[in-house]
Amino acid sequence: MNVLNFVQAFFGDSAHWHGYDGIPSRFLEHVQYTLLALAVAAAVGLPVGLLTGHTGRGGNAIAVVANAARALPSFGLLVLSVLLIGFGLLPVMIPLVVLAVPPILVTTYEAVRTVDPAPVDAARGMGMPEPGILFRVEVPVALPLILSGLRSAAVQIVSTATIGAYVSLGGLGRYVVDGLYQRDYEKVVGGATLVAVLALITLALFWAVGRFAVSPGVRRR
């Protein structure tokens, strides 16, 4: 039985569309975990990246912290969090947030630093306050790169959130983990397909946000 047959059998089974273990329920759980982890990571990474990018200070420290965070194994951090905290949502959020902060932080910093200094100097010469320079001059120009960092973090969270099923959390990872345990490869392939679909939906949403939020002049440049 090939992969396409597994996919067809999984999605064609009406039992997979109802109940707490149904596709809509698991899909919604996965989306909730992703949004929560992305919101926390953005709350940490965006302000620090914007501030350091605007002032030009702390770039080396950001690189060190980002590289250290990227080197941490997500699954190992998940197991350690469960051992220290116990089961629940919090120990799963820790590795997801740690995974998502570096791309947001580094990309935001680099996005602000690469803004053309001419309009920044002009705004400063006109007496515009520093917060105004940041949010009215630098951020609109840097927005495409900032969104790319958020997009990268979101896709990584969508993919990595499946490991939460190993510590009894819900989401699409339940199909993969339970399917492997039960040797139900139809369920494994179906769960992996749903994760891939959610990742593609995430990419499409960020593309739409970019088309709506970024000015046409910046997009063309």
Q: What is the pLDDT of residue 219?
A: 65
% of the chain with per-residue pLDDT over 70: 97
* Burial of 174: CB neighbours in 10 Å, binned 0-12, 13-18, 19+: buried
% of the chain with per-residue pLDDT over 90: 42
Q: What is the pLDDT of residue 14?
A: 81
Query: What number is the average pLDDT over the span 134-145?
Result: 90
Looking at every residue in the chain, the average pLDDT score rounds to 87
Residue 157: both structure tokens together: 């969270």
Distances (CA, A) of 214 to 51, 61, 142, 208: 21, 29, 9, 10
Does 93 score more than 80 pLDDT?
Answer: yes
pLDDT in tens, 115-130: 888 888 888 888 889 8
Does 197 score more than 90 pLDDT?
Answer: yes
Given 1.20.1260.10, 2.40.37.10, 1.10.3720.10, 3.30.360.10, which CATH number is that of 3-220? 1.10.3720.10
Residue 31: both structure tokens together: 């989306």
pLDDT in tens, 35-90: 999 999 999 999 999 999 888 887 777 778 777 777 777 878 888 888 888 888 88
Q: What is the pLDDT of residue 32?
A: 94
Does 1 score more than 60 pLDDT?
Answer: no
Does 166 score more than 80 pLDDT?
Answer: yes
**pTM (two decimals):** 0.90
Does 31 score more than 60 pLDDT?
Answer: yes
Q: What is the pLDDT of residue 220?
A: 65
Q: What is the pLDDT of residue 221?
A: 63
First to last CA, the chain: 49
Instruction: Return the residue matching tokens 């609109």.
Output: 140
